[in-house]
């Protein structure tokens, strides 16, 4: 009951407010809104569960399903005979899902002890908000088995591979190495990365609420192993070159050295070695000097090893003949304000004797008969100022300045290898024009299966044969490199001794080199040797580099079974000369 004005009482149900009628459109609108909202919910549910259920499916599967990588093996690297130079060995990686890895203090202690890692580092990694973290890479299988025996929640392991190099430091600069992710970082490993690298596969698994794998759902993508690479390198010749180079660096107290052996028939690189070297299986304490592939990445002034090219240009032009006389007296030549001189003064020399005696004056006088452009074009034609296009990491083109900037004194010094810089690999390749009747051939890091290669003609066969004879004279009695001779084989080559440039000035330091080939009757091997800063009693190329050439080329020819081409009497005499006097 309620009372109105005047004390008159009314029933609650008779209230005038309740008797007011709402507009009909308002109730319809409310009903329509409710129906619309319900329709939107139904439509959204239909869209998510029927039309586009990927999102919910993904969220659901993330609770129990995971895709795991299946490692692929990197391709092997072998020498030309199939001997392994680099191979991948099976290892394990230990990883974790931080959200699932709820380890007790005792479990953490056990894990750190087995893996040999710091407990604070383990805690930091397991506290990560990432869905996946590595605890340790490239773990030995027996260590991984000990981790698995702990049965720790959220801790897993995958198969991966670690690179192993059976030849160690012997072929380190040629083969290179990979990083922890099995990607090439140096040498052939980097140069042929696209071929060597495998493609990982993956598989789907179902795991329970503890994170343990309970079922394999299936393979999504099978792994693809990398391709094997067969190099042109011969392990036996590589060992010989490495051993003799290391011995020479130690004997002459040199800062460093390099040696290259090329097959003159095919252009295949049979050996490439440097000292100092390193063990690619253990790189914990490496310096930049050890890693440098000096034969490819370092340049130097080649000195007198370039004189044969000046002589070849002279013969090719027809201005000079093999026996043309050049007056080299008094052993000095002034050009402008500068004077060049010979190490030992000479008088009248033939072109052949200019090379045999290594006369700077004779070489400069031949060069003076040509324009700078003619000399530049010849140097360019034999590959100077450009890379050998091996694809080797860090390969350099050397330095060959444009001919328009040459001064007369610079043209003279370039004729005997100063004012121009080359790599040891470039120098070795350039001598193919003399070993192959005037052809410059491409070099190859991999073994060729197509037989003999053809090159680009640079000089005529007659010019190449005449220079070959001059180089044989230079490596014989009366030449600058008699120590390059090999018992039983005719050898040809040229010494080089050049001051080093430091700060734009020539220092009292030397680069000593020798490049040549054998046997002269049918050249098979081209060998180039370089010693950087020999600091012993001797530093001339004929004293420090040519004996190393002799040792490498002689042992390599015998290894390959190349028949001797020198008279047998020479073999006997040479053998007797090597015996101790008391045995004669």
Task: State the catalytic residues.
Answer: 304
**Secondary structure class of 511 (helix, strand, coil):** strand
Contacts of 230 (CB under 8 A, 6+ apart): 78, 79, 80, 82, 446, 447
Beta-carbon neighbour count of residue 150 at 10 Å?
12
The radius of gyration of the chain from alpha carbons, rounded to an integer in Å, stands at 39
Contacts of 284 (CB under 8 A, 6+ apart): none
Cβ–Cβ under 8 Å, residues 548 and 514: yes
Cβ–Cβ under 8 Å, residues 515 and 427: yes
Q: Name the pairing type of β-strands 229-230 and 77-78.
A: parallel
Q: Measured between alpha carbons, how far is 244 from 19 in angstroms, rounded to an integer?
A: 118
Structure tokens at 243: 């051993």
Contacts of 350 (CB under 8 A, 6+ apart): 322, 323, 324, 325, 326
**Secondary structure class of 323 (helix, strand, coil):** coil
Length, in residues, of the chain: 584
What angle separates helix 307-317 from helix 372-381, to the nearest 10 degrees?
A: 110
Share in percent of the chain as helix, strand, coil (round to 5): 40, 25, 40
Q: Name the maximum alpha-carbon separation found in the chain.
A: 158
Contacts of 515 (CB under 8 A, 6+ apart): 305, 427, 428, 431, 493, 494, 496, 526, 527, 528, 529, 549
Q: Measured between alpha carbons, how far is 481 from 479 in angstroms, rounded to an integer?
A: 6
């Amino acid at each position: 009951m309620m009372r109105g004005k005047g004390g008159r009482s009314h029933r609650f149900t008779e209230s005038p407010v309740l008797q007011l009628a709402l507009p009909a459109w308002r109730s319809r609108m409310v009903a329509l809104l409710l129906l619309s909202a319900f329709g939107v919910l139904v439509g959204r549910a239909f869209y998510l569960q029927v039309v586009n259920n990927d999102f919910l499916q993904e969220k659901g599967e993330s609770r129990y399903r995971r895709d795991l990588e299946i490692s692929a093996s990197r391709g092997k690297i072998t020498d030309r005979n199939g001997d392994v130079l680099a191979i991948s060995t099976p290892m394990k990686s230990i990883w974790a899902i931080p959200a699932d890895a709820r380890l007790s203090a005792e479990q953490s202690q056990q894990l750190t002890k087995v893996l040999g890692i710091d407990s604070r580092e383990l805690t930091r990694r397991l506290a990560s908000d990432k869905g996946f973290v590595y605890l340790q890479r490239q773990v030995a299988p027996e260590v991984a088995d000990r981790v698995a025996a702990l049965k720790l929640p959220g801790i897993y392991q995958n198969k991966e591979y670690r690179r192993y190099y059976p030849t160690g430091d012997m072929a380190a600069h040629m083969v290179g190495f990979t990083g922890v992710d099995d990607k090439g970082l140096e040498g052939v490993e980097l140069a042929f990365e696209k071929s060597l690298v495998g493609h990982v596969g993956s598989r789907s698994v179902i795991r329970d609420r503890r994170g343990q794998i309970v079922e394999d759902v299936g393979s999504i993508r099978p792994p693809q192993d990398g391709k094997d690479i067969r190099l042109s390198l011969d392990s036996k010749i590589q060992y010989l070159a490495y051993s003799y180079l290391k011995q020479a660096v130690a004997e002459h107290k040199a800062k460093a050295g390099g040696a290259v052996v090329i097959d003159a028939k095919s252009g295949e690189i049979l050996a490439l070695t440097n000292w100092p070297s390193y063990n690619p299986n253990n790189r914990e304490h490496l310096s930049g000097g050890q890693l440098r592939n000096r034969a490819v990445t370092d340049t130097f002034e080649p000195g007198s090893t370039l004189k044969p090219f000046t002589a070849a240009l002279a013969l090719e032009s027809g201005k000079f003949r093999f026996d043309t006389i050049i007056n080299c007296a008094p052993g000095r030549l002034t050009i402008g304000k500068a004077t060049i001189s010979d190490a030992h003064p000479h008088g009248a020399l033939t072109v052949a004797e200019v090379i045999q005696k290594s006369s700077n004056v004779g070489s400069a006088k031949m060069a003076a008969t040509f324009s700078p452009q003619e000399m530049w074009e010849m140097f360019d034609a034999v590959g100077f100022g450009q890379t050998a296009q091996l694809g080797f990491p860090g390969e350099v083109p050397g330095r060959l300045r444009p001919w328009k900037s040459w001064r007369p004194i610079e043209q003279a010094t370039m004729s005997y290898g100063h004012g121009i810089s080359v790599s040891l690999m470039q120098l070795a390749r350039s001598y193919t024009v003399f070993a192959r009747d005037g052809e410059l051939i491409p070099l190859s890091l991999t073994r060729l299966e197509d037989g003999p290669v053809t090159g680009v003609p640079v000089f005529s066969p007659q010019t190449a044969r005449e220079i070959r004879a001059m180089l044989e004279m230079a490596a014989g009695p009366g030449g600058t490199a008699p120590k390059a001779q090999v018992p039983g084989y005719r050898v040809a080559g040229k010494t080089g001794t050049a001051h080093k440039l430091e700060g734009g000035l020539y220092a009292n330091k030397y680069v000593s080199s020798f490049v040549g080939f054998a046997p002269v009757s049918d050249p098979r091997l081209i060998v180039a040797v370089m010693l950087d800063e020999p600091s012993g009693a001797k530093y001339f190329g004929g004293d420090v580099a040519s004996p190393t050439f002799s040792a490498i080329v002689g042992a390599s020819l015998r290894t390959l079974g190349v028949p001797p081409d020198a008279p047998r009497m020479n073999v006997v005499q040479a053998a007797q000369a090597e015996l101790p006097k008391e045995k004669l």
